[in-house]
Amino acid sequence: MYLELEHIKKSFGDKTVVDDLSFSLEQGKLLCILGSSGCGKTTTLNMIGGFLRPDSGRIILDGQDITEMTPEYRPVATVFQSYGLFPHMNVIQNVTYGLKFRHIDRKDAIERGERYLDLVGLHEYSKYRIDELSGGQQQRVALARALAVEPKLCLLDEPFSNLDAALRVKMRVELKKLQEELGITMVFVTHDQEEAIILSDFMTIMDQGRLVQMDTPENIYRNPSNSYVSEFLGLKDIVWGEDGKIMKVIANEKL
């Protein structure tokens, strides 16, 4: 497997936030970590990204143990909920910021940055200030910045939560298309079931720091592993495609 978490545990004081968490993911797939607030999903993402160190366990990416590796040296990029853009830099400067740590010269960095801006539909905005962009455009800049370093793994922590409903739907479709075109491996944290269905190849459902079920969205909805998963999903109606894939959520008590 390309990404492996082996018996990861993390506590803050006497509170265990992630408890004996293990899962693996194939290269080129998108995994959504789904769960209610406080279930440990963001803590898990931060440990994969290197922003938190697990108390025990190992994180392996493409055969390399990255558990003790600091964030700047991990072949991992993160898109945060707050975007984390630098307001004193213009768009292209933001997108190419991480490349200077990869020892890429300025000319090549600009060319690569412009290529990824083009991929997210913002090529003509390269000289704009961040405060001149809409929320959706800022989200695309953050995504281009993450992709520009060409990471082995891209992490996304509820990146669409600050967008309005219509723009969220549009960004989901665009992200999935981009992920499939580039073949990049992604881990996406969300509490939104519809978002997880649309985006994910696999879903991991967490509760109180533990993995409850991991499978394709279709298998989870058809065969929830226990009563918690059934109650959490709370589906009223879904539309199934001829290929057995979920096409649309009609109604969901949790949304």
Assign 119 to helix, strand or coil: helix
Least confident range from 16-20, 97-101, 126-130: namely 97-101
Count Cβ atoms within 10 A of the Cβ of residue 199 and give its class: 0-12 exposed, 13-18 middle, 19 or more buried. Answer: buried
- Residue 255 pLDDT class (50, 70, 90 cuts): very low
Place of tokens 């057995």: 244
Sorted by sequence, the CB contacts under 8 Å of residue 164 that are 6+ apart come out as none
Domains and CATH numbers, the chain: 1-73+154-160+185-255 (3.40.50.300), 76-150 (no CATH)
Residues 185-209: tens digit of each pLDDT: 999 998 888 888 888 999 999 999 9
Mean pLDDT of 70-91: 88
pLDDT per residue as tens digits for the range 171-182: 888 888 889 988
Counting every residue, how long is the chain? 255
What mean pLDDT is reported for the chain? 88
- For residues 80 and 142, give the distance between their C-alpha atoms in angstroms, rounded to a whole number: 8
Longest dimension (CA), the chain: 56
Q: How much is the pLDDT for 195? A: 86
pLDDT tens digits, one per residue of 33-67: 998 888 999 999 999 999 999 999 999 999 999 99
- What's the pLDDT score for residue 253? 47
* Contact predicate 175/198, CB 8 Å: no
Tokens 């020892």, residue located: 103
Predicted confidence (pLDDT) per residue in 209-231, tens digit:
999 999 999 899 888 888 888 88
